[in-house]
């Protein structure tokens, strides 16, 4: 009996042992790789994304969102363009603003104003490139409505083109990124502008002239007209580039012509017209109007806890009592003189002046953030709080409409509007030695809206006379709208020491530190030089 | 409260009371017609006795019959000699036969003198110097060079006590014997002590890796709030910085910084792998081991390059139920206050600072104006209270053991406002039937606390707040709260510390279940299978109720909104382990093999809401917020799958070998580099067991050499999904949405905003450790020495990538996000650790002293920034640079004070082009002179910072001493650091001399009349004196502190037993942080909360505080 028991037990032991060991081994090795394959529950991963039409729509929205942010039209586009041009200067306690205004950015290479635009425009390019890459790979096939896919691609082309346009006008050098995975080669201004034109041309083919055909929710997106306008603008910059000393001036004509063609096409679309009141281009009350060709939408609200307006007004506007703007971007005094050179046909102040600037006009009863200029000065408790400058920016601020200026100004920014195109038309005709009567008529269209007397074409039948007038007209019409820097570049001002000296003496003393051949380009953020293969710092920095 | 150790000693105790042997030893004899001599021979062969007799006096040829069926020998002898004149006397195992008249003589002459030999039971070596004492008398002796002793005792009832350090004390009743040889058993605590290593236990003497063992018995005498604090100074190589913040753990760092991410060691508690031990009630701890080298940590080593702390909690012991109850009550105070200027002194220098700046003094008192004279330290500091109550019941039978414990701990710290309460509950039990063992360790914890508001340091504000500002300001115009703050007259950027702690009610509570359930099956002798399932479930919530009061924050902001911020958090960690363990001895070979695999899954959920303006005053609910502001939420998960193996081989207790291997796969990595293999090996040579060692074994009792080498891995730095390129739906601060349509409505956006590195792999740390353990002078002195060198490589760092690739996502800090996790960094840590202990007994005084010392050198080899260095987070104070130790101080040097204009003008530099430049053209007599380090004729941060010291000490040490005499015991414990620097950020505020801050009372700023060479003149507004992070605020951080001093009294056993139900009672009184000897001028040189790259900075962190405690422990 005992023998049997222990025999059984021995067997039992063996069985248990065998079972356990094999179970152990099975358990241990049946845990496959799958156990370790976790998906991020908070985000979609790239390899499984891009399977739905909607993914591409969201991607385009994200690309648009770049326009809203501080590196772009949220702040720095305005600040950099105005400070560098002869329109503005800075009294900011933060030294990097002054550095930008005085072309002395070398020791401030990491400042926001230098880094943010670079960051933002390459970010937008990266987003657009993702759309191209995944559309190519699988996206295009997903779309039942190929037209929609085309329109999405068209918008991506427009935005990428715009970023290159911005890059060319600021840093004038940088990598050409045409897909979302590889590092592209480094190109310079001429090539960047050409890349921009090429992108805008693709966009022009794919974008609708008017989004209303696709529903009222689409209004405000970029159009074929905007693409044409940007081709015209870019072509003019390239023409200006070839006219610079040392470049092949003969190449300019083709680009002036290209610009002309595109602007003619814009007019032929017959959907744009000047708004009757100049002011309506710069307020929240008549946005996406008939004059607007390319516009960035801002909202004066908190969305998802985030401010979704532009900060422009807070940095550039009327600096009063802590409720207005900071002291970062002031208007130069000569702007006021330029406006005051001429009165309207019926002898009144140019109506564009009070829209553009706030100055200490005798008897002015307009309240800016609740007080007149005089009242503000009376209320100031210290010298530092007083309004001591000749003039300040009013355009695109809420000074006349709200109690204070904050970081979510809701006024849409009109990047391109028809008045600009008219004045560009005049300039292109002049450059092409076309019919200057026609050119003057374009100028008059813009002048008439503001009640200015018609110019007599007879007085402007030479290249020199007309370009001089165009320079004045662009200033009073477009001052503060960030076209000035591109204008000075295109007109060759930035490459002519005499003109620079004159600017420094008469308009913007910041130009006394302008270095020909250096200052027309921004410093590239220094850290980028070591991080991006093949990228070198711009000459002179 | 007695600490018990698992005993693995086999065999029977060698000596027992011989006097009873003759009575208890029974034999059976069946002899007919034999001589007495034959009978005696038979008895000798059947027992341990042997007979002595003089054949001339004793007739052994008499023939007798003997029939004894299992009778005591005494009975047999009595019968044998009943009718003769022979008497017998038993001495030990000798039986002396003598004529009746002579026997009495033998007894009388021998009764008073006992001689014998005392040996070490483990190796039969004679023991020298063993203490022998007659109980109840002061008489005693010690063994001689040969282990022999001789003592005269008063009579057979005398009891001798044999005691010797390192051996278990024996008491022996003398009885009839004249020779008493004793074999003393070595005290298993020191030699056969078993330590818990990864997935098993090992005898301490067989360890080949570097394992630090905490003396838990000593540790538990010190009442501490948490495990981290308990480790301070206990083990070489463990650096602990404590603080007095209620509920906040100490910073524990073992053998330096093992990776660039700021994580502490891994905790393995009853086999459960955790990243913290915050839930643990220190009273529940049974043992703590610190695994320090690659071999020791190997089986856990893929989870933390910052080493491993293994903790076991108390288990029940066989026997009747034992109930322990303890109560400890304490008071806490800041310990050191800094004497600050009063209003009169402050006003003097305040005025001077304006005068010096050429400005009108706004602070001039109006006639009759009463200006407050606030002592801010008095206002904010309180006497903190601690209560710590613990109740436990434990016991069991041979097959079932249990331990139940409950604890309550509360602390409110020295800062008025915050408090912390912890409730703990624990069940540990184990049942056994045949080959199966089941058991579990479960602990539940609930904590509730009002957090110390760390928004701005109240410790700094308590000093810097000018005395002219009242704590409460009844005239405060808005009427919200009425706390005093700065005004135009006395401008300050400080935050009212009382207002801060009172108006922000930041409550945090959590419930946590930590436990494991295991089953063990002994399949064959020596072969065990074990399954272990663990859980760590954590439910936490935090609610910050931020009242709108008029309180100036550090800038100029005054709060006008009330704000409610509330979050909930859930963590769930699951662990499953299967191991097979085979342990067998074959002759002189002992082998242990372990194989296993483990699965771990960690999940984390988070949700938070924020809103402003409660609709109902005093009610704080998300439902009642007037304005919803924000909400967040996310989930995280990671998994780890590991295979592990270990072979231990031991030959003749002399040659010890251990191999470990661990293969890990982590979900944090992509498929390409998911798996890592981490092998290690260690060897031990017990030199003292070699024959050639015999000659000195008398003095040198134990000597073991150890060497280990191995690789462990880490991935703590990495986020859970960092290798996956993922689509971002939220984007940067301003979001990814854009606005379109007639109504300009928001359109959500999503896109890839960052790039991911799919090639991420394990960080590795390779350590070579060489050490030896020693014991000599009869184990009175013991200790160990270690030398180690570890290189951490492939450290995960975020390498910046070009913004031109499109990855810049953050618009505020534009380079955040534009970086890619890369295995790039490399760091080296090497050092030595030394420990020594002395244990002895003098009369009735047992005492021990011990010391340990650690010296560590750190060197960053590869950092992964384009500049080759990285600044600390606190501005330009620390800098970590390749080739130097992490977080070195890099500051501008102060070079005295300009005493007059001549000195200002004489301070020039000749530049390369020959021109002579005035180095500080804006300086004025009384201003700080800085060293123009790069000789460029100007002072700036870019060119003139230089290396001025390291926050890492040259060495750290701990020293402890304890003694007991009768029922009294005494413990003292010191710890210290030497050779480190501290940047006293508090003093940077206090001695800014720019008007808005109060100053230390002993500060004598420079004036023309009373020039100073160390303190510049007061000067209103920003000026060069405060502009630079200079070494003016760098101080020697060396210190020596009396961490604990304790006196206890154990009621004597006799007294306790009279009380029937009570079996032990101890009372104690203790003090912590009683004395700190340091030149450091801040509150305390111990600093917690600094990151890897900004160590040694004092920004007013919660310092360790002084604690006085009384308590009792009773055992029923």
d(CA B804, CA A171): 12
pLDDT in the model for residue A29: 57
d(CA B219, CA B961): 12
Q: What pairs with residue B1000 in β-bridges?
A: B340
Q: Return the number of other C-beta atoms located less than 10 Å from residue B189's C-beta.
A: 16
What mean pLDDT do residues B53-67 have?
79
Contact of B709 with B680, CB cutoff 8 Å: yes
Contact of A123 with B805, CB cutoff 8 Å: no
Residue B526 phi, psi dihedral angles, 5° rounding: 90, -15
d(CA B381, CA B363): 28
- DSSP class of B179: B
Residue A461 phi, psi dihedral angles, 5° rounding: -95, 10
Contact of B440 with B515, CB cutoff 8 Å: yes
- For the cut 60, the answer to whether the pLDDT of residue B22 exceeds it is no
Q: Is A181 helix (H, G, I), strand (E, B) or coil?
A: coil
Per-residue pLDDT 10s for chain A (541 aa) are: 334 444 455 566 666 666 666 666 666 555 566 888 888 888 888 888 999 999 999 999 999 999 999 899 999 999 999 999 999 999 988 888 999 999 988 766 557 888 889 999 999 999 999 999 999 999 999 999 999 999 999 999 999 999 999 999 999 999 999 999 899 999 999 999 999 999 999 999 999 999 988 999 999 999 999 999 999 999 999 999 999 999 999 999 999 999 999 999 999 999 999 999 999 999 999 999 999 999 999 999 988 878 899 999 999 999 997 789 999 999 999 999 999 999 999 999 999 999 999 999 999 999 999 999 999 999 887 777 889 999 999 999 999 999 999 999 999 999 999 999 999 999 999 999 999 999 999 999 999 999 999 999 999 999 999 999 999 999 999 999 999 999 999 999 999 999 999 999 999 999 999 999 999 999 998 888 888 999 999 999 8
- DSSP class of B1015: S
Determine, for residues B741 and A216 on separate chains, whether the beta-carbon distance falls below 8 Å: yes
- Share the mean pLDDT of chain A: 92
Which pLDDT tens digit goes with each residue over B467-509?
Answer: 998 888 776 655 555 788 777 778 777 888 888 888 888 999 9
Alpha-carbon gap: A35 to the closest alpha carbon of chain B (Å): 8
What mean pLDDT do residues B1086-1095 have?
88
Mutate to test the interface with B, among A18, A21, A27, A31 (most CBs of B within 10 A): A31
Q: Return the number of other C-beta atoms located less than 10 Å from residue A257's C-beta.
A: 16
pLDDT in the model for residue B9: 26
Q: Is B570 helix (H, G, I), strand (E, B) or coil?
A: strand
Determine, for residues B739 and A530 on separate chains, whether the beta-carbon distance falls below 8 Å: no
Determine, for residues B737 and A303 on separate chains, whether the beta-carbon distance falls below 8 Å: yes
**Contacting residues for B106 by C-beta, under 8 A, at least 6 apart:** B89, B96, B98
Handedness of CA A521, A523, A525, A531 (dihedral sign): positive
pLDDT in the model for residue B17: 33
Q: What pairs with residue B852 in β-bridges?
A: B835, B958
Chain A neighbors of B803, CB-CB under 8 A: 115, 118-119, 122-123, 525, 528, 531
What mean pLDDT do residues B300-316 have?
84
pLDDT band at B989 (very low <50, low <70, confident <90, very high): confident
Determine, for residues A175 and B804 on separate chains, whether the beta-carbon distance falls below 8 Å: yes
Q: Which of B630, B742, B752 sits opposite A46 (nearest CB)?
A: B752
> Which CA distances in Å does B729 have to A43, A58, A59, A62, B809?
7, 9, 10, 9, 12
What's the first-to-final CA gap in chain B, in angstroms? Answer: 11
Chain A neighbors of B636, CB-CB under 8 A: 41-42
Determine, for residues A306 and B728 on separate chains, whether the beta-carbon distance falls below 8 Å: no
Strands B527-546 vs B563-586: parallel, antiparallel or unpaired: antiparallel
CB contacts < 8 Å between A and B, how many?
A: 236
Mutate to test the interface with A, among B718, B727, B758 (most CBs of A within 10 A): B727
Determine, for residues A119 and B665 on separate chains, whether the beta-carbon distance falls below 8 Å: no
Inform me whether the C-beta atom of residue B738 falls under 8 Å from chain A C-beta atoms: yes
Chain A neighbors of B744, CB-CB under 8 A: 220, 287-288, 297, 299, 412
The whole-model pTM stands at 0.76
pLDDT in the model for residue A6: 44
Handedness of CA B495, B499, B504, B506 (dihedral sign): positive
- Share the mean pLDDT of chain B: 85
Chain B neighbors of A55, CB-CB under 8 A: 727, 750
Q: Which of B665, B727, B736 sits opposite A65 (nearest CB)?
A: B736
Alpha-carbon gap: B795 to the closest alpha carbon of chain A (Å): 20
d(CA B761, CA B385): 48
Determine, for residues A65 and B749 on separate chains, whether the beta-carbon distance falls below 8 Å: yes
- For the cut 70, the answer to whether the pLDDT of residue B59 exceeds it is yes
Determine, for residues B523 and A122 on separate chains, whether the beta-carbon distance falls below 8 Å: no
Contact of B451 with B412, CB cutoff 8 Å: no
Q: Return the number of other C-beta atoms located less than 10 Å from residue B459's C-beta.
A: 28
Alpha-carbon gap: A261 to the closest alpha carbon of chain B (Å): 29
Determine, for residues B643 and A183 on separate chains, whether the beta-carbon distance falls below 8 Å: no
Residue in chain A nearest B627 by alpha carbon: A305
- For the cut 90, the answer to whether the pLDDT of residue B577 exceeds it is yes
Chain B neighbors of A49, CB-CB under 8 A: 727
**Which B positions 864-883 lie with beta carbon below 8 A of chain A?**
866
d(CA A77, CA A70): 8
pLDDT in the model for residue A32: 63
Mutate to test the interface with B, among A18, A38, A222 (most CBs of B within 10 A): A38
Chain B neighbors of A183, CB-CB under 8 A: 802, 805
């Amino acid at each position: 009996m005992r023998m049997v028991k222990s025999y059984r037990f021995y067997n039992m032991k063996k069985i248990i042992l065998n079972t356990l060991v094999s179970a152990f081994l099975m358990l241990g090795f049946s845990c496959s790789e799958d156990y370790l394959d976790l998906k991020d529950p908070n985000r979609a991963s790239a390899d499984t994304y891009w399977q739905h039409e909607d993914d591409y729509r969201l991607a385009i929205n994200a690309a648009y969102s770049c326009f809203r942010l501080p590196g772009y039209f949220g702040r720095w586009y305005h600040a950099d363009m105005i400070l560098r041009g002869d329109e503005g200067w800075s009294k900011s306690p933060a030294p990097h603003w002054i550095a930008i205004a005085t072309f002395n950015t070398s020791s401030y290479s990491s400042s926001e104003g230098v880094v943010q635009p670079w960051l933002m425009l390459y970010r937008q390019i990266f987003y657009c490139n993702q759309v191209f890459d995944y559309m190519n790979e699988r996206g295009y096939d997903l779309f039942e409505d190929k037209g929609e896919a085309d329109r999405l691609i068209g918008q991506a082309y427009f935005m990428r083109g715009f970023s290159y346009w911005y890059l060319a006008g600021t840093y004038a050098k940088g990598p050409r990124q045409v897909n979302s995975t590889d590092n592209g080669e480094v190109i310079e201004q001429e090539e960047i502008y050409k890349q921009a034109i090429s992108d805008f041309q693709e966009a022009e083919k794919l974008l609708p002239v008017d989004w209303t055909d696709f529903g009222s929710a689409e209004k405000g997106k970029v159009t074929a007209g905007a693409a044409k306008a940007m081709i015209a603008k870019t072509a003019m910059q390239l023409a200006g580039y070839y006219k610079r000393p040392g470049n092949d001036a003969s190449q300019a004509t083709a680009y002036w012509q290209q610009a002309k063609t595109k602007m003619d096409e814009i007019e032929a679309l017959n959907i744009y017209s000047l708004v009757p009141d100049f002011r309506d281009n710069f307020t929240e009350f008549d946005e996406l109007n008939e004059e607007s060709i390319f516009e960035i939408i801002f909202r004066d609200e908190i969305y998802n806890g985030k401010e979704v307006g532009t900060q422009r007004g807070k940095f550039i506007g009327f600096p009063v009592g802590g409720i207005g703007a900071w002291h970062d971007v002031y208007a130069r005094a000569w702007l006021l003189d330029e406006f005051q050179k001429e009165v309207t046909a019926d002898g009144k102040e140019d109506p564009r002046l009070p829209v553009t600037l706030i100055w200490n006009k005798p008897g002015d009863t307009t309240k800016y953030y609740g007080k007149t200029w005089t009242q503000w000065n009376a209320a100031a408790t210290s010298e530092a709080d007083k309004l001591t400058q000749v003039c300040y920016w009013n355009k695109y601020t809420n000074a006349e409409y709200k109690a204070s200026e904050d970081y979510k100004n809701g006024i849409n920014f009109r990047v391109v509007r028809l008045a600009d195109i008219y004045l560009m038309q005049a300039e292109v005709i002049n450059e092409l030695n076309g019919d200057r009567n026609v050119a003057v008529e374009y100028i008059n269209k813009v002048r008439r809206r503001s009640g200015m007397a018609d110019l007599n074409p007879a007085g402007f039948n030479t290249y020199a006379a007309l370009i001089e007038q165009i320079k004045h007209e662009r200033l009073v019409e477009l001052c503060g709208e960030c076209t000035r820097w591109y204008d000075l570049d295109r007109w060759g001002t930035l490459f002519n020491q005499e003109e620079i000296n004159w600017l420094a003496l008469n308009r913007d003393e910041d130009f006394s530190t302008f270095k020909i051949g250096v200052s027309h380009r921004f410093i590239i953020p220094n850290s980028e030089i070591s991080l991006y293969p093949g990228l070198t710092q711009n000459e002179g920095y | 409260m007695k600490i018990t150790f698992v005993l693995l000693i086999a065999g029977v105790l060698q000596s027992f009371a011989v006097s009873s042997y003759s009575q208890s030893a029974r034999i059976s004899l069946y002899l007919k017609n034999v001589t007495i001599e034959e009978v005696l021979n038979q008895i000798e062969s059947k027992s341990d006795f042997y007979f002595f007799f003089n054949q001339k006096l004793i007739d052994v040829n008499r023939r007798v019959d003997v029939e004894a069926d299992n009778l005591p020998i005494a009975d047999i002898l009595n019968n044998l000699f009943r009718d003769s004149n022979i008497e017998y006397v038993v001495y030990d195992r000798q039986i002396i036969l003598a004529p009746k008249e002579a026997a009495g003589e033998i007894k009388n002459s021998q009764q008073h003198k006992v001689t014998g030999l005392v040996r070490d039971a483990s190796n039969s070596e004679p023991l020298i110097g063993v203490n022998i004492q007659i109980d109840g008398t002061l008489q005693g002796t010690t063994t001689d060079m040969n282990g022999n002793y001789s003592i005269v005792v008063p009579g057979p009832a005398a009891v001798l006590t044999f005691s010797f350090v390192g051996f278990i004390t024996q008491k022996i009743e003398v009885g009839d014997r004249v020779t008493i040889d004793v074999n003393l058993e070595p005290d298993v605590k020191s030699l056969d002590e078993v330590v818990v290593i990864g997935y098993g236990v090992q005898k301490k003497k067989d360890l080949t890796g570097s394992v630090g063992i905490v003396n838990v018995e000593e540790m538990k005498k010190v009442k501490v709030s948490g495990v981290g604090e308990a480790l301070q100074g206990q083990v070489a190589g463990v650096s602990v910085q404590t603080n007095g913040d209620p509920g906040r753990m100490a910073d524990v760092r073992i053998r330096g910084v093992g990776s660039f991410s700021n994580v502490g060691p891994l905790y393995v508690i009853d086999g459960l792998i955790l990243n913290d031990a915050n839930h643990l009630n220190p009273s529940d701890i049974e043992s703590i081991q610190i695994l320090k080298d690659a071999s020791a940590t190997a089986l856990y080593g893929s989870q933390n390059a910052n080493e491993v702390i293994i903790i076991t909690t108390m288990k029940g012991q066989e026997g009747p139920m034992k109930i322990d109850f303890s109560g400890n009550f304490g008071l806490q105070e800041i310990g050191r206050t800094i004497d600050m200027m009063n209003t009169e002194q402050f006003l003097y220098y305040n005025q001077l600072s304006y005068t010096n700046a050429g400005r009108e003094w706004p602070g001039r008192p109006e006639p009759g104006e009463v200006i407050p004279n606030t002592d801010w330290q008095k206002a904010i500091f309180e006497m903190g209270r601690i209560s710590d109550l613990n109740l436990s019941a434990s016991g069991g039978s041979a097959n079932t053991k249990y331990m139940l414990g409950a604890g309550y701990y509360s602390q409110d710290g020295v800062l008025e406002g915050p408090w912390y309460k912890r409730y703990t509950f624990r069940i540990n039990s184990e049942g056994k039937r045949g080959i199966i063992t089941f058991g579990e360790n479960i602990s539940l914890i609930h904590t509730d606390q009002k957090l110390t508001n760390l928004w701005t340091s109240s410790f700094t504000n308590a000093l810097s707040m000018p005395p002219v500002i009242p704590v409460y300001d009844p005239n405060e115009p808005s009427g919200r709260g009425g706390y005093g703050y700065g005004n135009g007259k006395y401008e300050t950027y400080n935050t009212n510390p009382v207002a801060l702690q009172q108006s922000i009610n930041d409550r945090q509570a959590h419930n946590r279940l930590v436990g494991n359930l295991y089953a063990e099956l002994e399949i064959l002798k020596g072969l065990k299978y074990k399954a272990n399932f663990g859980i760590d479930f954590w439910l936490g919530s935090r609610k910050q109720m931020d009242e709108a009061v008029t309180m100036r924050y550090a800038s100029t902001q005054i709060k006008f909104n009330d704000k409610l911020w509330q979050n909930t958090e859930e963590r769930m960690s699951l662990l499953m382990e299967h191991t097979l363990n085979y342990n067998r001895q074959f002759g002189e070979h002992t082998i242990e093999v372990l194989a296993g695999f483990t699965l771990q899954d960690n999940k984390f959920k988070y949700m938070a809401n924020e809103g402003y303006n409660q609709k109902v005053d005093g009610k704080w609910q998300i439902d009642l917020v007037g304005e919803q502001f924000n909400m967040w939420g996310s989930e995280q998960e990671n998994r780890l799958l590991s295979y592990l193996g270990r072979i231990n081989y031991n030959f003749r207790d002399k040659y010890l070998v251990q191999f470990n291997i661990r293969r890990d796969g982590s979900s944090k990595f992509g498929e390409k580099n998911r798996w890592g293999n981490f092998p290690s090996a260690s060897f031990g040579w017990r030199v003292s067991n070699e024959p050639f060692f015999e000659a000195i074994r008398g003095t040198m009792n134990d000597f073991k050499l150890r060497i280990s080498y191995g690789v462990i891995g880490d991935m703590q730095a990495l986020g859970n999904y960092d290798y996956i390129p993922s689509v971002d739906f939220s984007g940067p601060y301003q979001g990814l949405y854009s606005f379109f349509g007639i109504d300009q409505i928001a359109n959500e956006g999503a896109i890839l905003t960052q790039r991911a590195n799919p090639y991420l792999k394990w960080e590795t740390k390779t350590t070579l450790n060489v050490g030896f353990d020693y014991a000599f002078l009869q184990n009175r002195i013991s200790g160990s020495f270690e030398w180690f060198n570890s290189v951490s490589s492939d450290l995960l760092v975020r390498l910046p990538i070009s913004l031109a690739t499109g990855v810049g996502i953050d618009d505020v800090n534009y380079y955040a996000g534009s970086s890619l996790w890369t295995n790039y960094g490399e760091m080296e840590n090497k050092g030595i650790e030394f420990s020594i202990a002395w244990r002895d007994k003098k009369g009735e005084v047992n005492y021990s002293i011990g010391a340990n010392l650690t010296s560590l050198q750190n060197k960053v080899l590869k950092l992964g920034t384009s500049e080759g260095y990285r600044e600390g987070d606190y501005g330009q104070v620390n800098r970590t640079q390749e080739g130097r130790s992490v977080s070195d101080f890099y500051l501008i040097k102060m070079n005295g004070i300009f005493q007059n204009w001549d000195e200002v003008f004489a301070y020039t530099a000749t530049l390369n082009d020959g021109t002579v430049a005035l180095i500080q053209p804006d300086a004025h007599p009384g201003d700080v002179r800085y060293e123009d380090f790069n000789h460029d004729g100007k002072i700036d941060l870019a060119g003139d910072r230089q290396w001025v010291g390291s926050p890492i000490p040259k060495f750290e040490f701990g020293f402890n001493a304890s003694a007991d005499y009768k029922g009294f015991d005494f413990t003292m414990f010191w710890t210290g650091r030497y050779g480190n620097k501290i940047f006293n950020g508090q003093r940077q505020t206090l001695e800014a001399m720019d008007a808005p801050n109060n100053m230390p009372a002993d500060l004598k700023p420079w004036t023309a009349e009373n020039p100073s060479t160390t303190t510049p003149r007061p000067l209103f507004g920003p000026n060069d004196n405060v502009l630079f992070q200079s070494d003016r605020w760098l101080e020697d951080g060396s210190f020596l502190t009396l961490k604990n001093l304790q006196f206890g009294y154990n009621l004597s056993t006799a007294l306790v037993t009279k009380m029937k139900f009570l079996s032990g009672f101890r009372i104690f009184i203790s003090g912590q942080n009683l004395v700190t000897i340091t030149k450091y001028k801040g509150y305390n040189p111990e600093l917690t909360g600094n990151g890897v790259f900004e160590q040694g900075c004092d920004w007013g962190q919660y310092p360790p505080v002084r604690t006085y405690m009384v308590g009792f422990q009773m055992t029923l």
